[in-house]
């Protein structure tokens, strides 16, 4: 696998919170192909953690908008998203900044 050794084992937070995964590959940060990055992330479980992280971010934004603007449609969207997930009491992997 090309670039495998360039992806740090402790790079989970960078991968999970990145808005642009392609930038990790092309910015000479990790020097790997996008396919290699996706394969490694899948093996390390980062892809699942990333999906959960961004789902939680989206829900928190919807809830914040609903509270700030007294917008019932945002609140309904957030509640629908929450109901669609099976929330368990799990430790948060990546802390909000």
Q: What is the pLDDT of residues 6-56, one digit of tens each?
A: 788 889 999 999 999 999 888 778 888 899 999 999 999 999 999 999 988
Q: Find, among 94, 29, 44, the residue nearest to 21 by Cα.
A: 29
**Structural domains of the chain, count:** 2
- What is this structure's pTM? 0.69
39 and 8 co-located in one domain:
yes
Same domain for 58 and 38: no
What are phi and psi for residue 96, nearest 5 degrees? Answer: -65, 145
Domain match, 53 and 30 both: no
> Structural domain of residue 53, as residue ranges?
49-84
């Amino acid at each position: 696998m090309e670039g495998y050794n360039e992806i740090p084992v402790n790079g989970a937070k960078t991968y999970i919170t990145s808005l642009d995964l392609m930038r990790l590959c092309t910015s000479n940060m990790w020097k790997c192909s996008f396919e290699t990055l996706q394969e490694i992330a899948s093996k390390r479980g980062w892809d699942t953690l990333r999906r959960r992280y961004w789902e939680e971010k989206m829900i928190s934004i919807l809830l914040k908008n609903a509270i700030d603007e007294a917008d019932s449609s945002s609140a309904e969207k957030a509640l629908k998203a929450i109901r669609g997930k099976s929330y368990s009491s799990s430790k948060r992997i990546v802390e909000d900044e």
